[in-house]
Chains A and B, each alone.
Chain A
Amino acid sequence: MDLSAEEREILAGSRGEAPRRALEYQIEVGRFWGAKRLVPVTNVHLMGDIEVMGDAGLEFLRNEVKSAARCAVPTTTNARCMDFAHCERLGQDAAEAAKERELIQCLRRMDVVTTDTCINYQTVYQPHLGEHVAWGDTGTVIYANSVFGARSNFESGPAALAAALTGRTPEYGFHLAENRRGSFTVQLDARLDDLADWGAVGKLVGEAHQDYFAVPVFHGYHRAPSADELKHLGAALASYGSMGMFHFVGVTPEARSVEAAMGGRKPAGALTVTDADISRVYEAYSLGDGDARLVVFSGPQQSLLEMKRLAGLFDGRTVKPGSSCFVTTNGAVLAQSRALGYAGTLEEAGVTILEGVCFYILQNLSPMRQANRWTNLVSNSAKIVNIIGAHRFNTILRRTRDCVDIACTGSLR
């Protein structure tokens, strides 16, 4: 790999032990992918909490702090596993909560901005066309690559942390123009009126092309999609297909036409998604034993406009006694939702709002499921119904309005 003079100095220890180790690690990862060099990044988004890191990860962070590790570029954190205001009621472990607090302090001492959000692209930082970043949480990466035209690979916790310390990342994958070209086309002949419909598109397309380097090119849609719609599409493509990028003709910056998005490649296939296809996605979910006592709006966290819509749907209604309904969002959105009355409306309806977390990675989730005797999980997020299976939930995707009805009636359809 070609290293700059500055990078050779880092390897010689000029910035200290932590960046030296981080760069060595990045070079190994880059070699695997055939990277010829490293590229500077302007922004890092990092997944790091006690549920995903474990005791080993915490010990690693303690040592980083001891060696005076500091972020070289602005670095934010992804959604985490505990909202301390709710952990006791949710039955989360006090010992793990203490570790989580220590972990957060370690990150702050390294100059990490603990935003605790998986919607940084809606609330914290919007990179521009061609800007290199190192982001973790697959939903953030696919949004950055696709909607902003920025450049990132999936950067898991250790890799994002290394990028934060060195201010660069190996140049492979979606940092290179050749990998950003479309690989197949998807004609959208469906109405897609609800966010869950967009997740269903991501499921259909992602399941059929499980490949990080597959890049779908959407075209033919009858109107301009919203940011929240593209967010659910991207999150589902990344979840079901492990995909890191899509194009949307007339919408995303590298897709003025199908031809421009393909960049000279011939499409390896052409899909069409219709209303009937979307209906079949919903019909395919088994209702299990009919348990309708858990409804979740999470994965990704809710934007302010999603909070507004949910408040409108829950206004004047109440979650059925014995049922649980959770909404997750970040601190900024929650503060504004409180000021605007959305949070109050939701809480009056009996909805629990969790701040800075994702339902999927909640610490102690399996025991929580057992203690509440939950068997089904209902959500309008195609992503969360896909990834939560290891906790042995039977999951059901439903449209937003239907999810609210299920929460308030306890009746599953």
Chain B
Amino acid sequence: MKQIRVNQAYGPVVEGEALLSDEGFSPRYDLDRWSGVITKPGHKLEGRSIVDKVCFFPTAKGGIAAGWAFYDIKWKRLAPKAFVFGVTNPVMVQGAVFAGIPITAGWTPHPREVLKTGDWVRVDPGRRIIEVL
């Protein structure tokens, strides 16, 4: 089974459809928080929904205001199943943990080498592993 090892992780085991991005993410700069669709003009995932996806982002963007945004989208049932970051920052982790959304950081190998958007994956934070099912 193809696997990605992650360095840091929080949350329960979840499964979902993978959504891979070549661009970083901020729930404030990039996301329409009323539809769950990435609406920032020119974002590489512009027009794609993150709802119920396992979202792979290389970096975290954005400031402090993002911290409340995860809880907000979870409340509106627009949250992804999990956030998988290459590099992240404290705001993303604080926000995801507060909302109870699994989050990981650091990956080997790069997700592009083992999976593509639409694949079904299992995120296992306890074992620090993401499996392609």
Contact = CB atoms under 8 A, between A and B. Distances in A.
Interface string A44-58: 000110001111110
Nearest to A57: B68
A159 B89 contact: no
Contacts of B95: 156, 158
A33 B93 contact: yes
B64 to A, nearest CB: 4
Contacts of B103: 32
Contacts of A154: 63-64, 89-91
A171 interface: no
B4 interface: no
A238 B60 CA distance: 12
Interface stretch (A68-76, A190-198, A384-392): A384-392
A25 B90 contact: no
Contacts of B28: 387, 390
Contacts of A239: 63
Given A56-B71, A156-B64, A29 B94 contact: yes
Contacts of B91: 154, 156
Contacts of B15: none
Interface string B76-102: 100000000001011101110110000
A231 B9 CA distance: 34
Of A52, A137, A392, chain B has the most CB atoms within 10 Å of the CB of A52
Contacts of B63: 137-138, 154, 238-239, 387
Contacts of A158: 67-68, 71, 94-95, 98
B64 A29 contact: no
Given A47-B65, A137-B63, A56 B72 contact: yes
Contacts of B66: 156
Contact of A157 (B24, B64, B93): B64
B132 interface: no
Given A56-B75, A57-B68, A242-B89, A29 B29 contact: no
Given A32-B8, A387-B29, A157 B89 contact: no
Contact of B64 (A25, A54, A55, A137): A137
Nearest to A27: B97
Given A157-B67, A390-B40, A54 B30 contact: no
A390 B39 CA distance: 7
Contacts of B64: 47, 78, 136-138, 154-157
A184 to B, nearest CB: 16
Interface string A206-237: 00001110000000000000000000000000
A173 interface: yes
A153 interface: yes
A102 B72 CA distance: 18
A389 B62 CA distance: 12
B94 A54 contact: no
A25 B69 contact: no
A78 B68 CA distance: 14
Contact of B9 (A29, A32, A56, A392): A32
A159 B10 CA distance: 16
A156 B90 contact: yes
A136 B90 CA distance: 11
A273 interface: no
A173 B91 CA distance: 12
A157 B62 CA distance: 14
Interface in B51-68: 59-68
A159 B40 contact: no
Contact of A54 (B59, B72, B90, B93): B72
Contacts of B40: 389-390
B65 A52 contact: yes
B43 to A, nearest CB: 10
27 contacts: A25-B97, A29-B93, A29-B94, A32-B103, A47-B68, A52-B68, A54-B75, A54-B76, A56-B76, A57-B68, A60-B71, A137-B63, A155-B94, A156-B64, A156-B94, A156-B95, A157-B68, A158-B94, A158-B98, A212-B60, A238-B63, A242-B59, A242-B89, A387-B28, A387-B29, A387-B62, A390-B31
Which 9 residue pairs across A and B have the least CB separation, nearest first?
A156-B67, A56-B75, A54-B72, A158-B98, A159-B94, A212-B89, A136-B64, A156-B91, A138-B63
Interface of B: 8-10, 24, 28-31, 33, 39-41, 59-69, 71-72, 74-76, 87, 89-91, 93-95, 97-98, 103, 105
Interface of A: 25, 28-29, 31-34, 47-48, 52-57, 59-60, 78, 136-138, 153-159, 172-173, 210-212, 238-239, 242, 361, 387, 389-390, 392
Given A54-B72, A56-B75, 18 more contacts: A29-B90, A29-B94, A34-B8, A54-B76, A56-B71, A57-B68, A138-B63, A155-B90, A158-B67, A158-B71, A159-B67, A211-B87, A238-B63, A239-B63, A361-B65, A390-B31, A390-B39, A392-B41
